[in-house]
Amino acid sequence: MSSYFTAYFPDEEALLKGVREIKEKGLQIVDVLTPFPVHGLDKLLGLHRSRLTRVAFAGGAVGALLAFVFQWWIFTVDYPLNFGGKPFFSVPSFIPITFEMTVLFAAFSMVAAFLISNKLTPSANPALHDERITDDHFLVVVGVNENSSDEHLREIEQALSDSGAEGITLKAENHG
């Protein structure tokens, strides 16, 4: 069993100020949950740029290659038809389907990568700290060592309170 503190902030400006103060005091921020994206929070938490664009490029490249090769194979090898004297290997006629397959494969690869990287598989069991965080609350989750004394816990609670947090709660998480 591990413990953590949850603390609410009323708006995004107070959240950014509070997160900055919490980090300056050396506390471990496990997660920050917001109802909408907060500009500057990613840099403040030290999060890196997403690799989702690379996944989209790779998926799109695979889709384009498969579409082009498949069309080439159909129209030149498997079932060549003479359409009004046009050549069998006509690249301009392949472009629309190649483009559509590029977009389709890029989209599906991004969705799959997003779900896997965020552990949103069907067997996922996400921790819901409070239902209000999806409406209008900004929540910071601060980790606590398992062998922390009561005095240390009071210090963490006071540090959160000094940073402008409201509704500070100590919670226990079961891993089982």
Q: How far apart are CA 21 and CA 163, in angstroms?
A: 6
Instruction: Among 10-14, 51-55, 99-103, 127-131, name the most confident range.
Output: 99-103
Tokens of 57: 């490029």
Residue 6 pLDDT level (bands cut at 50, 70, 90): confident
pLDDT above 50 (res 110)? yes
SS3 string of the chain?
CEEEEEEEECCHHHHHHHHHHHHHCCCCEEEEECCCCCCCHHHHHCCCCCCHHHHHHHHHHHHHHHHHHHHHHHHHHHCCCCCCCCCCCCHHHHHHHHHHHHHHHHHHHHHHHHHHHCCCCCCCCCCCCCHHHHCCCEEEEEEECCCCCHHHHHHHHHHHHHCCCEEEEEEEECCC
Q: How far is Cα of residue 162 from the mean position of the Cα atoms in its chain?
A: 30
From residue 118, how far is each of 115, 127, 134 by CA, in Å?
A: 5, 13, 17
Contacts (Cβ under 8 Å, ≥6 apart) of 17: 163, 164
| Residues 48-68 pLDDT 10s | 888 999 999 999 999 999 999
Q: How far apart are CA 104 and CA 102, in angstroms?
A: 6
Q: How many CB atoms lie within 10 A of CB 133?
A: 16
Across the chain, mean pLDDT equals 86
Show the domains of the chain with their CATH numbers: 2-35+136-173 (3.30.70.120), 52-117 (no CATH)
Q: Which residue has the higher pLDDT, 92 or 99?
A: 99
Model pTM greater than 0.85?
no
